[in-house]
Structure 1
């Protein structure tokens, strides 16, 4: 019975570890012999949805490139470099400020080798990097080992022929081993730390390296991220539809259309039904537009547009044209014969088709006002890469646009209280023009980073935004006039408050010219490192980048430890550092109350000598400092994605559940304070 309980406990621990270790990439290795003395080692991967594996030769300062590494070989010569095979996705990464290439769904890498004759053997590993939208995995090794016998027959008149003992050898390897036994813990336990920052293998186990996975689970460990992107897209589209309603092209049509349906039918119920049908037709038309965008371009192509420099320049110019149209420079209209033809067709038909064609006519005649809004929305939501994103955005837009037609049909008396058309609608158009002009700079910024022009650094971008929103404020106060504006000098209360908000926002951005973080615009402005003049210094830097040295320091000074598992190529790690760590409360707690140890799992510095350890019943070789920290994260904490933050006492025991990517500052502060409280209780 005691053994049974032990077995059940072991299974429980295994299940908890499996819940933390992510295994989104599965590789298979294969040795293929070709004609003559040629052969090749093929690495084939199956990639989970949402993840991507980076290609080869991406350059310094970027994500982990795929590389081919040999530990030992005989009777074999390596020919050329590792070659990626298949469809690569090439995009510009705004964080790394460089073009990157990666594979989605499947990936294949091929390394050519030459067999020199007789017995041959080759052993080594392929290393690669992988990320999704929220996490990055540490540099991961795909080990391989092949051996055999080949006979090379070579004369002056004959081409050497290779006759291997085995034509193909397959070696299935999963790239993310699971920690299935708490006994399979770190074998390079540091008894002493030498000057090279490497650890010396020791016989006795150290508490610093003991697994604490069960303790984290007891503290409520979880790493699920809430996906609210679809809700955000729908709300964005809905707000765009509400704005379109208030434009001169749509608002005056509402009472005319509703009155038409109610008057042409003696049966009031039928008139209401027709108005509902009209609204439903509007929804169908605009959702079909969103679906068509995806079918024409494809989800992956739309995702690539978000970082493609050429398309971002096109988007910039398009939004500038839309802004000029809203300012009154010209009208963007579809050919009048289109709307005339559809309108005449609606008059000649009856029933549901007639109502649908009337709704289609509305979409055509109102294009001069709705077109710029729809264009901006489609650009924004299409770059999410989701197949349904454009359709969801257009669903929100269409529901907002169709809502008044159905509501006023149900409650006709509301028509009397409906605000009359007037100059206020043109004010909304011009305001939208200013907003489109401001957002156009966002797309120009991406192109600027791609080509390295440095014409739109952070302070230049902010200066333009300050001017745009200040001019918007002056316009709303009536100090600036456009061609279609009324000559009246009175400014309404609503317009005054809008001006107040715009001018206040412009003043808010002024400190950003000297390096203030401006979290409200951090998603739009260029990165902080493009700032030429920066007086802001509220930054957090780790005290140590070595686990053992940091733990020793914390033990000597009686302070808790914050472990930051990060990476040079971790996008979301940089986001957390910029958006969360710069908060004064967060930085104060980390700098004063914790010993911060940042461990880079992609650090390429080699260990003094490779160290072989056993994990999940398999032997692994740790070659770099990054390998060591990645292994520590998997074995001690049962996780392998970054960013990953964990709070420890001086003995290496957790003080709170871990924290992953979440930019909620209040939650992060609570995470830190809970750890401090538990540390103080432990000491008492």
Structure 2
């Protein structure tokens, strides 16, 4: 499994590189005394060739205008009007349908301020701006001026860039000496603007994809996998890496061809290529599955992979918060873009590949979640392919729909500061989900470091912070002050706060059924019998358990050894319920917390059957003399979990989790075994039938 973990590490490491930061604008500053109470702040910029920085008076419906933010003005000084600007240029952008105002080569701003608090000597001013070439860079530079010494200095620079390469000549909307190539740009980090509308659609992009079991007894339907990944794909279109590309790319295809029908066909083919590329990423896993039928069951409980996914999610979360930018190396993007110049359908294919590469910083976290959840399930390669198809379709749909109906683009919201808010919300959700993978590793190893209370406390902290962020109580690196809350941001904040309130009772033993399978099980807790509570343990006299038994969820006696459980069943003359389960099995927890809790079901489990729970992911090493070579799989069985997985596969030809068998003392089935059965009445009827057949 170490080789397998290394293989998966390499597969994901291919997509991750160091942050790539460019600074095409260099700033200098100075302060001049105008009168006893007035000072002039001077900002001078040198702009690299072919780059354009947009004026504070540029149309906000095009590229993002420069903004001057006075950080410590309240009670200390006031700005006298808008900053005066050096000579600017203008050009019409037919993609956005506006005239944009910008600087080339050099720019200067002069801002007059009037001191209202003589005791204050420091003026802090932040310039938020956008500069574009084939890419757009969001700059946020902080300057500090001293009115006493007349000293000025630049304190911080938050410029960041994604490597975006497109067909420069063909996608340029305005072909003139002063043409602004904003039609080829992709916004990576949006600066602070008045627009701060959080898109609730991002919540669906990080919806939890439930684990499923294999083959003909799927516990999570393929339809659910498809719908959730489809929503995830649609959700990532509302990120800074993808959203600005939609009108630009669609306009390119439509304007490229004299025949509008051909342009629409190319745009549709572009979407199909996006889908095909994501589906192709799943092909290697079909090969892995062919080599080892149990590979996906091993993946679901592999400690190294779960820790790896935890680290990946934390890294992406920090990136989304604005600490750094994760991008694909520019050399890869440049090669794909060069290939797109071949023309024809091959060129369109490489344009789609270029989009996938350059948008990785936003799609990567969701894509890794799709991989992590489906691969760590028992769903197999088929469900992974279905999930990748759904994700690709969701991402491609906007490009295809707007190509067929271009008039709908007029209803698209303009790019703005709300895109950065979307990224930050993504970051909080990614951080919360990261702890699910860490919890899986802790459960498999039974370390009890991340017990239920600790896990829930972490989530309470994360979603409290998310609610406070949405309510504007603090800012992230690329945010600006929030003068007011938009309706969308306020509603999303209320949802985050309500979810936090829902979580809190879980610290004292509340079941939290909405999160069954995500939180650690109720008995994996500092207080397994509930806060200050006790359980009615059937079959135990004076709190003494039968030999080899443990107290399981809801106070049920359970054996984790087949032979000891069988011996006890013969002693008390009761039928046996074999529970093939896993420490990190989501649907197993859903059954325990959503079905077994039913009073009638629980009564049977406590009084009428002997429960034997066999954990297929138990990592305890078997003694040397008990290890063997499986006659079913040919693998060496070295752990308790592998022993029970091999036992299940050999006797019942199934590796599903959960998988339930009711059998008599002669070890013959009392009725047909069942897998994940979330319907309480159906499961109850199955239990009653087996018990009646035993009698």
| TM-score after normalising by structure 2 | 0.51
Q: Using the alignment, how far apart are the partners of 2:442 and 2:410 within structure 1?
A: 52
1:145-544 correspondence runs (5 A): 225=217, 228-292=220-284, 294-295=286-287, 300-347=294-341, 349-384=342-377, 386-534=380-528, 536=530, 542=538
* More off after superposition, 355-364 vs 386-395: 386-395
Tell me the residue number matched to 1:664.
678
Q: Compute the RMSD of aligned alpha carbons.
A: 4.1
Tell me the residue number matched to 1:598.
610
Q: Tell which structure's C-alpha radius of gyration is larger.
A: 1
Q: Using the alignment, how far apart are the partners of 2:213 and 2:348 within structure 1?
A: 46
CA contact (8 A) 1:241 1:400 kept: yes
CA contact (8 A) 1:331 1:368 kept: yes
Deviations 1:532-584 (A, max 9, x none): 12563696755699889989xxxxxxxxxxx7631476559975772245535
CA contact (8 A) 1:514 1:534 kept: no
Of the two structures, which has the highest relative contact order with CA contacts closer than 8 Å and spacing of 6 or more? 1
1:40-189 correspondence runs (5 A): none
Q: Secondary structure at the match of 1:455?
A: coil
Tell me the residue number matched to 2:186.
none
CA contact (8 A) 1:246 1:428 kept: yes
* More off after superposition, 469-478 vs 444-453: 444-453
Q: 1:352 to 1:540 in 2, by over 3 A?
A: farther
Deviations 1:626-646 (A, max 9, x none): xxxxxxxx9xxxxxx963569
CA contact (8 A) 1:473 1:500 kept: yes
Report how far residue 419 of structure 1 moved.
Answer: 1.4
Deviations 1:606-647 (A, max 9, x none): xxxxxxxxxxxxxxxxxxxxxxxxxxxx9xxxxxx9635699
Deviations 1:75-123 (A, max 9, x none): xxxxxxxxxxxx99999xxxxxxxxxxxxxxxxxxxxxxxxxxxxxxxx
Q: Using the alignment, how far apart are the partners of 1:88 and 1:332 within structure 2?
A: 27
Report how far residue 589 of structure 1 moved.
Answer: 6.7
Q: 1:90 to 1:346 in 2, by over 3 A?
A: closer
Q: 1:455 to 1:543 in 2, by over 3 A?
A: closer
CA contact (8 A) 2:521 2:589 kept: no
Report how far residue 436 of structure 1 moved.
Answer: 1.1
Q: Using the alignment, how far apart are the partners of 2:223 and 2:613 within structure 1?
A: 34
CA contact (8 A) 1:441 1:461 kept: yes
Report how far residue 239 of structure 1 moved.
Answer: 2.1
Q: 1:584 to 1:489 in 2, by over 3 A?
A: farther
CA contact (8 A) 1:542 1:596 kept: no
Q: 1:503 to 1:672 in 2, by over 3 A?
A: farther
Q: Using the alignment, how far apart are the partners of 2:682 and 2:503 within structure 1?
A: 26
Deviations 1:415-465 (A, max 9, x none): 001111122222221111111111111121233344454321111111101
Q: Using the alignment, how far apart are the partners of 1:301 and 1:232 within structure 2?
A: 23
1:579 partnered with 2:571: no
Q: Secondary structure at the match of 2:242?
A: coil
Q: 1:351 to 1:438 in 2, by over 3 A?
A: same
Report how far residue 306 of structure 1 moved.
Answer: 2.3
Tell me the residue number matched to 1:566.
577
Q: Secondary structure at the match of 1:643?
A: strand
CA contact (8 A) 1:538 1:584 kept: no
Q: Using the alignment, how far apart are the partners of 2:401 and 2:384 within structure 1?
A: 26
Q: Secondary structure at the match of 2:500?
A: helix
Q: Secondary structure at the match of 1:566?
A: strand
Size of the alignment, in residue pairs? Answer: 406
2:660 to 628, 643, 649: 643
Where structure 1 has 5 or more consecutive residues not aligned to the other structure, the ranges are 1-86, 92-132, 136-223, 552-562, 603-633, 635-640, 648-655, 679-684
Q: 1:234 to 1:438 in 2, by over 3 A?
A: same
CA contact (8 A) 1:282 1:402 kept: yes
Q: Using the alignment, how far apart are the partners of 1:669 and 1:520 within structure 2?
A: 20
Q: Using the alignment, how far apart are the partners of 1:322 and 1:672 within structure 2?
A: 45
Q: 1:254 to 1:499 in 2, by over 3 A?
A: same
Q: Using the alignment, how far apart are the partners of 1:368 and 1:469 within structure 2?
A: 23
Report how far residue 400 of structure 1 moved.
Answer: 0.5
Report how far residue 248 of structure 1 moved.
Answer: 0.6
Tell me the residue number matched to 1:623.
none
CA contact (8 A) 1:241 1:396 kept: yes
Q: 1:492 to 1:645 in 2, by over 3 A?
A: farther
CA contact (8 A) 2:279 2:385 kept: yes
| TM-score after normalising by structure 1 | 0.52
CA contact (8 A) 1:550 1:595 kept: no
Tell me the residue number matched to 2:172.
none
Q: Secondary structure at the match of 2:282?
A: helix
Where structure 2 has 5 or more consecutive residues not aligned to the other structure, the ranges are 6-211, 541-564, 615-650, 652-657, 665-669
Tell me the residue number matched to 1:166.
none
CA contact (8 A) 2:333 2:357 kept: yes
Q: Secondary structure at the match of 2:610?
A: strand
Q: 1:669 to 1:499 in 2, by over 3 A?
A: farther
Q: Using the alignment, how far apart are the partners of 1:368 and 1:664 within structure 2?
A: 37
Q: Using the alignment, how far apart are the partners of 1:312 and 1:574 within structure 2?
A: 18
CA contact (8 A) 1:542 1:597 kept: no
